[in-house]
């Protein structure tokens, strides 16, 4: 793990690269282009950048129209607005119509920090993964975010790419390729599986180090694709270790933990614990403080893993 970069930094930069490669990407933003980094793309390709103002529903409608005309639109805004405020348009204009629109909002989860509970979107994965045809990607670092955006841009149909505000370690090399519906094993283990996504991949690796001090060898999975979920890959790890802890910066209801529980219930029933936000809204604070407050640190994951192994 090396320097820390926010996954949101990948959006504007990758769109510029894609446009230079001849891919018909455009960006539609809701007056947050500085924060989402689509402003960088707008500077490089002003004719492909559309700021619709504080109007997320219109943002999705404009993106849908651009997709009908053969463009590959990426929408900006914060996750709480891009999914919650514009849900009807995402459902009916994008998914129901099967349009080639890519939602790539930033500022997801509690690591938004001081903006508080009104802006800390903890329900977006649940909202997006239930929509027919929507693919849901939650990259763990800047490199994976670039690869996820590139995959979304070159794969037809709706995508949701969840990006964050806070810096996270760069886990992957520049040659990393994002594989749809494939978990990536970051650390081999035999005693318990830690299945994580997004910023929680770092914490799962920290937990694995702590558990190793006790002679517990945890397998760490980067579940970057929540939908379509690599159910077989997760089940294979569960059969190998016999217990699973899911780790997400999202509500435990409807997100990664729910998706993994559904898969294991059908394919490999094993003891399961879910690390995430427990049916509450967020609150104001610094990202590190909030991670501790909501029990999302590596130490919290390690404690949950030990309890699960005792129960097993």
Active site residues: 56
**Rounded alpha-carbon distances, angstroms, from residue 32 to 24, 127, 185, 240:** 22, 22, 35, 45
Give the count of beta carbons closer than 10 Å to the beta carbon of residue 76: 33
- The answer to whether 178 and 39 have CB atoms below 8 angstroms apart is no
Burial pattern 251-287, b for ≥16 Cβ within 10 A else e, equals bbebbbbbbbbebbeeebebbbbbbbbeeeebebbeb
> Half-sphere exposure of residue 212, counting CA atoms within 13 Å on the CB side?
14
CB 78 within 8 Å of CB 32:
yes
Asked if 144 and 224 count as a contact pair (C-beta separation under 8 A), the reply is: yes
Name the strand (E) or helix (H) holding 226: strand 225-227
Task: Give Cα 223 to chain centroid, integer Å.
Answer: 9
What is the bridge-based pairing of β-strands 135-137 and 225-227? Answer: antiparallel
CA torsion through residues 30, 34, 38, 43, sign: positive
Which strands form 72-75's sheet, in the order they lie side by side? Answer: 49-51, 25-29, 72-75, 102-103, 159-161, 135-137, 225-227
Exposed / middle / buried, residue 192 (Cβ in 10 Å: 0-12, 13-18, 19+) = buried
């Amino acid at each position: 793990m090396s320097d820390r970069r926010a996954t949101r930094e990948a959006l504007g930069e990758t769109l510029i690269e894609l446009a230079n490669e001849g891919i018909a990407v455009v960006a539609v933003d809701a007056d947050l282009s500085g924060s989402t980094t689509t402003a960088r793309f707008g500077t490089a390709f002003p004719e492909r950048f559309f700021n619709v103002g504080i109007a997320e529903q219109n943002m999705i409608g404009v993106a849908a129209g651009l997709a009908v005309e053969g463009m590959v639109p990426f929408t900006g805004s914060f996750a709480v607005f891009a999914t919650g405020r514009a849900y009807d348009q995402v459902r009916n204009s994008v998914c129901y119509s099967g349009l080639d629109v890519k939602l790539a909002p930033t500022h997801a989860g509690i690591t938004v920090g001081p903006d508080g509970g009104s802006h800390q979107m903890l329900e977006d994965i649940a909202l997006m993964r239930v929509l027919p045809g929507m693919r849901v990607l939650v990259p763990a670092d800047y490199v994976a975010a670039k690869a996820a955006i590139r995959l979304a841009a070159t794969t037809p149909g709706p995508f949701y790419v969840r990006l964050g505000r806070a810096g996270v370690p760069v886990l992957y090399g520049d040659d990393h390729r994002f594989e749809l519906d494939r978990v990536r094993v970051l650390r081999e283990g035999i005693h318990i599986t830690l299945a994580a996504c997004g910023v929680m991949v770092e914490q799962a690796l920290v937990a694995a180090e702590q558990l190793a001090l006790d002679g517990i060898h945890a397998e760490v999975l980067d579940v970057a694709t929540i939908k379509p979920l690599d159910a077989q890959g997760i089940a294979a790890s569960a059969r190998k270790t016999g217990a699973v802890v899911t780790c997400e910066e999202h509500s435990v209801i409807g997100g990664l933990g729910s998706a993994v529980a559904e898969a294991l219930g059908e394919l490999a029933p094993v003891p399961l614990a879910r690390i995430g936000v427990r049916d509450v809204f967020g609150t104001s604070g610094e990202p590190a403080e909030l991670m501790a407050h909501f029990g999302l640190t590596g130490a919290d994951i390690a404690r949950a893993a030990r309890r699960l192994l005792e129960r097993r």
